A = this chain, B = another copy of it.
Amino acid sequence: MMQFTSSYFRQVLLALCVAFALSSCVISRENVIVLERQGSFTAGGTVISTPGTFDSIADGAFSPADQSTAGQTLHGDHAFVFYQIPVDARPLPLVFWHGYGQSMKTWQTTPDGREGFQNIFLRQRYPVYLLDQPRRGQAGRSTEPTTISAATNDQLWFGIFRLGVGSELYPGVQFSPEPAALDQFYRQMTPDTGPLNIELNTKAVSALFDTIGPGILVTHSHSGGMGWLTALKNDNIMAIASYEPGSGFVFPEGEVPEPIPYVRGALRASAVSLEEFRRLTEIPIVIYYGDNIPNQPVENPGQDQWRASLTMAKAWRDVVNRRGGDVTLVHLPEVGLTGNTHFPMSDLNNLAVAELLSNWLKEKGLD
């Protein structure tokens, strides 16, 4: 018969503890994401109303052909936000703002099925806020009407997004050659559900920062310019990381550079007061551009417009820094990341792209 000594029980308890600790380890596996909470809400927006009285009997049936609007309201022009807070979260959230013709999908699963910045940064314990700007995606309720044309323009965007030209991917491009990937990429485009309005968009994103407090804004393309403007409105924006800002660079009055011509267009900058401009010298800013951006004018509009943007961005960086700012501009091929499209966040090498951002956040004490 066994001796049930106290030392025997301790051995059993020890074994049980080890087993429990090991089984608990499944929860701390690298590949799971542990959330403190997640949810969604809308930020900002306005209310419009039609004069008159709403008759809930006479006007209360769904009747699209002859629906009365008298005495009714419409709540619209807000941003839609989905957020996820990991356990043991870092103090400053990343707020992801998509670009033209896109939604929060930009930051989600890549066209070829890998993780996007949403997951990558959640795993690094950053709270993430993904937004659809007013009149886009799930924030579709607009106070102004519009027409959506359903014009066939995939190839236009294939070019402007610098995947390639026509239907040919650039050699060495960081985009999957699998047809399914391009299919997914095209399908992530989504239209404006009302006239695009810069002021309205910046107000809504500013309202978001009023709600959530201090955070780091991450922009893409068209939201690059809107991001600078939003920072002027809201001191809760502690830093900005901007991927491929296209336009909307703001300079102090009197220092606005000449427009930069490109194929069939010209890139213009605008002026803000020196006092407003100083705001942009107070926060760390990093800007990233990808590959296949020519440094001399070329015929291909899809590339040439980015030559103008990159040129303007460098000029802007210099003006901000001359006034005491902290703008870093990273041209990815110059740091060894070649082949990036207009969408570095979802390109094949997006882990390396993300690592640059992680390191910059750490370096600036934003982590």
A residues contacting B by CB (< 8 A) are 7, 10-11, 13-14, 17-18, 20-21, 24-28, 31-42, 45, 48-50, 54, 56-57, 59-63, 67, 69, 71-76, 78, 80, 82, 87, 103-105, 108-109, 113, 115-116, 119, 132, 136-156, 159-160, 165-166, 183-184, 186-191, 193-194, 263-265, 299-302, 305
A-B contact pairs, 28 of them (CB 8 A): A7-B7, A10-B14, A17-B17, A17-B18, A21-B21, A24-B24, A27-B34, A39-B119, A40-B108, A41-B184, A48-B152, A59-B156, A60-B159, A61-B301, A67-B151, A67-B153, A71-B155, A74-B153, A78-B187, A137-B190, A138-B190, A140-B191, A141-B191, A142-B148, A142-B191, A146-B148, A148-B148, A150-B194
Q: Of all chain B residues, which has the CB nearest A114? A: B39
Q: Of all chain B residues, which has the CB nearest A149? A: B145
Q: How far in angstroms is the closest Cβ of chain B from A294? A: 14
**Other-chain contact of A34, B7, B34, B39, B143 (Cβ < 8 Å):** B34
Instruction: Provide the bound-state CA to CA distance between A68 and B302, in Å.
Output: 14
Instruction: Provide the bound-state CA to CA distance between A153 and B36, in Å.
Output: 37
Q: How far in angstroms is the closest Cβ of chain B from A26? A: 7
B191 touches A41 (CB 8 A): no
A193 touches B191 (CB 8 A): yes
B32 touches A155 (CB 8 A): no
B36 touches A34 (CB 8 A): no
Instruction: Provide the bound-state CA to CA distance between A141 and B189, in Å.
Output: 6
A35 touches B32 (CB 8 A): yes
Instruction: Provide the bound-state CA to CA distance between A184 and B79, in Å.
Output: 11
Q: How far in angstroms is the closest Cβ of chain B from A96? A: 13
Q: Of all chain B residues, which has the CB nearest A53? A: B166
Instruction: Provide the bound-state CA to CA distance between A140 and B190, in Å.
Output: 5
B75 touches A187 (CB 8 A): yes
Contacts of A13 in B (CB 8 A): 14
Known: A31-B36, A56-B166. 12 other contacts (CB 8 A): A7-B7, A35-B35, A41-B109, A50-B152, A54-B166, A59-B156, A62-B156, A67-B153, A67-B156, A73-B152, A137-B190, A138-B138
Q: How far in angstroms is the closest Cβ of chain B from A8? A: 11
Instruction: Provide the bound-state CA to CA distance between A166 and B54, in Å.
Output: 7
A87 touches B27 (CB 8 A): yes
A138 touches B104 (CB 8 A): yes
Contacts of A186 in B (CB 8 A): 73-75, 141
Instruction: Provide the bound-state CA to CA distance between A39 and B80, in Å.
Output: 18
